[in-house]
Structure 1
Amino acid sequence: MTPHPRSTNTEAQSIPQALRQLGDPAIAAHSQRFFKTGPGQYGEGDQFLGIRLPMLRSLLPRYRQTSLAAMCEVLHSPWHEERLFALLLMVARFAKGDQDDKAAVFASYLDNIACINNWDLVDCSAPQIVGAFLEDKDRALLGSLANSTSLWERRIAVIATLHLIKNNDFDDCLAVAALLLADRHDLIHKAVGWMLREVGKRDQETAEVFLRQHYQAMPRTMLRSAIEKFPEPLRQAYLHNRISVTGP
């Protein structure tokens, strides 16, 4: 991982100082369980202060002038909510920035991608930064991430396409979904199914072309999520293998 930049003032210290005063041990204990932090689980070893997302979002205006360097320092925190807050700040910086700002946030995101290591951290940032930045650019990065050995990089690849899907641009979602059909992790099954469902909400025919080709090979969780909004008779037909399969 590329070393993160160092801020030149106390910004990176002020954010943890503020957040650590807001922690709730009961919420932290629940989060430890919810985000699967036990031995061998996907979030093994993660630590929580016990701060809910709405509280973090309410603090964003106070820190909107934080430097990108300071955000990156906070992103290296061992505390989950501090990493989450850093990503929310980066998303806000990207949204309001000019092209140079957006490029800098995107580069910092990739440089520090190892710190984006749970599903909520991915989901709150990948569409808004990765998907948005690649909208008018070459998107080969998505394929590279989808082929990563890192669970979280693979999830970034598919969740980033949500930004493109919202613009009725489905090709990259379908390409990444095809790469991840045989993925063994449930969090990828859920993510791919979610993105296919989003495609189907906007263009059911496009979603079904993909599904008719691949649904029999899909993990059950992925398929159930993908067809969740289909009319019930059609949903049952997929679930009971009554849809004709089409070739590539």
Structure 2
Amino acid sequence: MTFTLQPLIASYEANASPAKATQMKAYMKDQFEYLGLPSPLRKELTKTFYSGQGLPQAEQLESIVSACWQMPYREYKYFAMELMVKMKKKVGHDAIHLYERLITEESWWDTIDLLAPSLVGYHFMEYPEERTKYLNKWLKSGNIWLQRSCILFQLKYKLDTDTRLLGSIVLKLKDSKEFFIRKAIGWSLREYSKTDPGFVVRFVQTHELSGLSHREALKWLERQ
């Protein structure tokens, strides 16, 4: 069977809700258009789509994702990212070029916060020899979404977290005035505090972070 997005498009658009779309657009600061599909409904429609279509071939993935990224409604980007997660073990080292491009196109926290830990993080675990090259490039890029990805790619690593690298990235970006950088610093440290609370406490005590980063870093520990 030839993989096609048409049944998905028909299903999504048949279930569109202009009222919910307005709410979702407002939540995202009126930056993006939505069909108005709440996540549970969208995932159910997607599941039905897969039951009929299956997954595409690995060599089709980039063109499918690129097509979704060009569509006007945000839900198609969510579909594309979730498809990439499903197929992350079927693509090779060249996938980083696609991830890098998507991080910089139509960017906001909703795409970065899936792309960075779920795809970039997995990729760098599989291809550690590529990590330094891309992290250095992204840190110097001046693009806040590439920089946020540097902070967040280890979010799911737990005991495999390279704390020296995490600390180095945080120190390079800690003086940024960007909300999404400061928030990501706090989030990355907070998440790692669930694995090694001592490291995070020492790091926060010995380095001057922004108030937002500091509060976010200790939020989970202070609730224990």
**TM-score strictly above 0.5:** yes
1:111 aligns with 2:97: no
The structure carrying a bigger helix percent of its residues is 2
1:19-48 deviations in Å (ceiling 9; x for gaps):
2222222221111121112xxxxxx3x111
Q: Does 1:223 align with 2:214?
A: yes
Q: Identify which of 88, 92, 102 aligns with 2:86.
A: 92
Matched residue, 1:29: 22
1:238 matched to which residue of 2? none
SS at match of 1:18: helix
Map of 1:241 onto structure 2 = none
Kept in 2, the 8 Å contact 1:12–1:73? The answer is no
In structure 2, C-alpha distance between the alignment counterparts of 1:142 and 1:22, rounded to whole Å: 40
Q: Tell me the TM-score normalised to structure 2 length.
A: 0.82
Structure 1 position 116, deviation (Å) = 5.2
- Correspondent of 1:123 among 110, 113, 123: 113
Residue of structure 2 equivalent to 1:177:
170
Give the superposition deviation at 1:13: 4.3
State how far apart, in whole Å, the 2-side matches of 1:13 and 1:149 are: 38
- Would you say the 8 A contact 1:197–1:226 is kept in 2? yes
Identity %: 23
Aligned pairs (5 A) from 1:56-75: 56-58=42-44, 59-60=46-47, 61-62=50-51, 64-66=54-56, 67-68=60-61, 69-75=63-69
Question: In the superposition, relative to structure 1, how do residues 77 and 93 fare at CA in structure 2: closer, same or farther (>3 Å)?
Answer: same
- Matched letter for residue 145 of structure 2: W
What CA distance in whole angstroms lies between the structure 2 residues aligned with 1:230 and 1:10? Answer: 47
Give the match for residue 76 of structure 2.
Answer: 82
| TM-score of the two chains, using structure 1 as the length reference | 0.75
Aligned residues: 212
Of the candidates 184, 200, 213, which is equivalent to residue 207 of structure 1? 200
Partner of 1:162: 155
RMSD of the TM alignment (CA)? Answer: 2.4
1:195 match: 188
Matched, 1:52 2:45: no
Matches of 1:178 and 1:158 in 2, distance apart?
Answer: 10
Helix, strand or coil at the partner of 1:65: coil
